[in-house]
Each structure stands twice: as C-alpha cells, then as structure tokens.
Structure 1
Amino acid sequence: MRLDKQKLLTSIFSYFGRCSDATRLRWGRALGWLSSRLLRSRAHIVRTNLALCFPGLSEPQRQAMLDRHFRLLAQSMIDRGLIWFGSPERIQETVQITGLEHLDALLKAKRRIILLAPHFIGLDAAATRLTLFLKESATLYTPQSNADVDTIVREGRGRFNTVHLISRRDGVRGLIRQLRAGIPVYYLPDMDFGLDGAAFVPFFGIQAATLLTTAQIARNWDAAVVPIVSRLNAETGQYQVDVLPPLTDFPGDQTLEQATTRLNQLIESWVRPDPAQYYWVHRRFKTRPEGEPRPY
C-alpha cells in the first residue's frame, strides 16, 4: 500500500514537473482559490499575522493580501513538481538568479558561508537553484510525518550535486559540523521555536521569539552571512532569486540580541515591498512574553 501511495504522489508531482507553464499556472490559480477557503485554520493564522503586522491597512486591503498570499503559496506547492522532477534546464529557465558572484568570491576565499533564507514563498525554488551552482551544501530538514511524502521531499531536495539534509532532531550541531568542513549551509532564521536559544526581538513592531543562532554561529565560526531573497511572479510562474552581498560587520561588536534585531529589521525591509510573498501561514508570534495573550 505504501509503495502504491508513493507511486501516486510521484506521478502527481512529476506531472507538474512535465506540464506546460500555462497548465501549472491554471492549477496554481485553482488551488489558490480553494486553499484560502478550505484551510480555515491557516487562513485564520494569516489573517491574524497580517492584522498584527499591518494595522494601518484596511480590512479589504488585508483580505486582498491574504488572497494573493494563498495564490502564491498554492503556486509554490504546485511548483514542487517542477523543482523536484523538472529538467535542470527548465529549472534554470524558470528560476532566475542574480548575485552568484558573491558566493563564488567567498568560496574562492575559503570562507564559511551561512545562506540566510527567510521564509519567502520561493525558498524551496531558491534552494534547488542554489544546489545547481554549489557542488556541496547542507540544510536543516524536518522529517515529514508521512513516510511516503518524506521520501519524495528528501529525494527532491537532494537531487542535484551533494546536499546534506540534517534532521532538525539532531539540532544545529549537525549543521555546524558541515559549516566547519567548509560546506555552505542554507539556514532559515525566522520561525518561532519557543524561547530555548531565542530572545524576544521586534518583528514588524511585535515582540517575536527569535533564535540567536545566526549571530552566534557567525561569531563563533567567522562565517559570512549571505542573504537569499526570493520572489514568485504568479502571472508568469517565474521566480527571481537574489543572492545579496554578505552582511558587513556581522555581528561585529553587537550583542547577540542586537545582531538578531538587525536581522529582523533586514527581513522586514525585504518583506515590505511585497508582503504577500512572505510565509504568513506560520504562527510567528505564538510564544508570548509573560502576561501577554496568545494571538491565535
């Protein structure tokens, strides 16, 4: 039974990897329309996040942002088929990338590299496009509860060159081992995992439990922090991935909390031009300072 289910999932995603751009865009529009209506608990999370972070917008404006967010999110899910099963040539055509010269210079200088990838809709497409450039890379991986889905995701994320998928159960130590060996690590800095190893720092004016890991690793291992900003054009199905210059003087003389506040401010600046591109379905503010009500 498991093999049959895995075959079915593989067939579905490989179909999305082979179909035309027009077809995958039609599927994205249909799934986007359905998901915002059927996934009511997730829509509640998105609506809550947008109300907290953009209180100056009207309710119709936030609703339009929510609708567009689910449209982009649905398209990115359909496009897992493209990045997991599509040809390298088609992926390169669909996922445009700039700034690889920054990585090339750091690799030649034998610098340790943290690829800082905030939760934008296109983060999976960005990761796959980077693995086409990097001979070796590593990232934390959360094992999927369904074994069939887990197999497809693991194989999809590791299909190009050498990709070390470090189970989140092993913690950040496994990622540091790869970093110490000179392997660039793809790291997502902006989820709420509680207060263990984290601090409350502002994100869109709201105190958010934020891991101090990026600043801590950069300081302890002299790692360059290279931001990866990705965007999806829902009308064309094209992704734009920008590899930005490494952060200067990071963390420098700042405390870990100050440096992490700087990171959150940078992420805000990347989100604001098109907020619907950010992954608002996460409960970013679930951990609250003592005495504050839980927003969700």
Structure 2
Amino acid sequence: KIPYYVKTKEIEKIVEIKGLDLLNDTKDGKILVTAHIGNWEVAGAGVAYFIKNLNSLAYRIKNKKLNRLITEIRENSGIKIIFHDQPLKDFVKALKNGKTIAFLVDQNALAHRGIFVDFFNLKASTVTFPAKLALKYKKEVFFSYNYYDKKTNKIIVNIEKLYFKPTGNYEEDLKNLVQTYTKKIEEAVRKHPDQYFWVHKRWKTRPEGQPENIY
C-alpha cells in the first residue's frame, strides 16, 4: 500500500527540503550520499516525491516477507530500489538515464568494501562504491541529511553539492572523496547528536594491528 503520508500528500506539510533545485536537473545522473540521522525513510520519500527520479541502494533483509514489505513501502513512496547484489550495469544505466542514486554511507564497511577514513577522530571503515561510481563515470556528488525540527514540527532535509577536484591519482582521489562525505556526516551529527543512529557499531572493522573488538 502507498504510505499514508504520500497518498494524502501530507508529506508536503511534514517535509521541508532545502537545496532541492540541485537535484531537479535530470539531464545527468547524480550521486547522493546520506546517513542514518533523523527520519531517513520519510526524508527519502520526501525527496522522491518532489524530484520523481530517485533511486536508492538497499541491502536485502534476510526475512523475505519483511524484505518484500519494506521494499514495497519504499517503492510506493516513489523510490526505485536497486539492491546491492544487482549487477553494476543497473547502477550505470540509472545514472545514464539521469537518475539520482542515493547511498547511506555511514555504516561499518567490511574490509573488502571500504577504506579507513577519520570519523570522530577514529579510523572508520567506510564504503567506497558511491565514490568509485562518481570517479569512474564523472558524476557530481551531493550530500544530504535530515533532522526533526521541534519549532516547525517538520523534518528538514538539507542538500548540498560536494566540491571535489580530482588530482588524477585514483587512490588518492578515492580516499579524499570518501573522507569528504564522511566529514560532512560528522558535521551533521555534531549539530544533531540526539538524532543519530548511534546503536550501529560504526567502528567495528579495525585497521590491521589494532584490537579487533573495541566494543
């Protein structure tokens, strides 16, 4: 079923988006990185409601019935889901068709999926896939985060362009881009620490030579 807040257009009253115009240009695909802060599900639905071309990477939930339910809710909100185990060509096709692909990039990455960058003065293994897509296919990268504003009783979504100039050294560029969006997440969390998903073990994967379990 279509979520109530989308079906009734109530989402227009509960979500306020700043910087939406940055994503409205559908001539070229875009990378949108975000984090588990505020109400990311409703915020995502809000962005999808207004720009009409939002895709998002998602991981499959082991429980098939729950996975199907969550996927239906998200897609009925206007978000086209691309699962992490789908072929690369599906992501490339979306970008070539002018779609914006959203990635939640603040969860611990397994060693083969991430690189270590600074997050709150600790090395955190961070996903590189969106950065690799941006560098290989020369796509602009945008950062978004949301928070609940008690004064207006709205979910405020902020969208901004990440300014990044490649040097030509791929490994260096990759690390710098991943560090850039990780720093943006840290800045957002510092502004709204009470609205961040702290229960996730963000620093679970450790660099070689450090204790394997810091929790």
Give the TM-score of the pair, scaled to structure 1.
0.64
Q: Does 1:84 align with 2:10?
A: no
SS in 2 for 1:225: strand
SS of residue matched to 1:176: helix
Shift of 1:204: 0.6
1:101 paired with 2:21, answer yes
Cα drift, residue 282 of structure 1: 1.2
Structure 1 gap segments, 5+ residues each: 1-9, 11-82
Alignment partner of 1:225 out of 129, 141, 155: 141
1:119 match: secondary structure:
coil
Whether 1:278 aligns to 2:196 is: yes
Match of 1:247 among 162, 169, 194: 162
Bigger-Rg structure (1/2): 1
Moved over 4 A (4+): 234-237
In percent, how many aligned pairs have the same letter? 27
Alpha-carbon distance change, 151 to 174 in structure 1, aligned in 2, over 3 angstroms: same
Whole-Å separation in 2 of the counterparts to 1:180 and 1:251: 22
What RMSD over aligned residues (CA atoms) do the two structures have, in Å?
2.3
Question: What residue is the counterpart of 1:113 in the other structure?
Answer: 30
2:3·2:77 contact (CA, 8 Å) conserved in 1?
A: no
Aligned length: 209
Pair 275,251 (structure 1): closer, same or farther in 2 beyond 3 Å: farther
CA contact (8 A) 2:119 2:183 kept: yes
Q: What secondary structure is seen at the aligned counterpart in 2 of 1:255?
A: helix
**8 Å contact 1:192–1:284 — kept in the other structure?**
yes
CA separation in 1, counterparts of 2:76 and 2:130?
A: 26
Aligned CA distance change for structure 1 residues 194 and 92 (closer, same or farther; 3 Å): same
Q: Is the 8 A contact 1:190 1:210 kept in 2?
A: yes
Per-residue CA deviations over 1:141-180 (Å, capped at 9, x if unaligned) read 222233332232111101144x321122226553233223
**Do the aligned partners of 2:36 and 2:104 also contact (CA within 8 Å) in 1?**
yes
1:237 to partner: Cα distance: 4.8
TM-score between the two structures when normalised by the length of structure 2? 0.86
**Which 10-residue stretch deviates more, 143-152 or 205-214?**
143-152
Q: 1 or 2, which has the higher helix percentage?
A: 1
AA aligned to 2:61 is Q
Match of 1:137 among 54, 79, 88: 54
Question: Could you tell me which residue of structure 1 aligns to residue 93 of structure 2?
Answer: 177
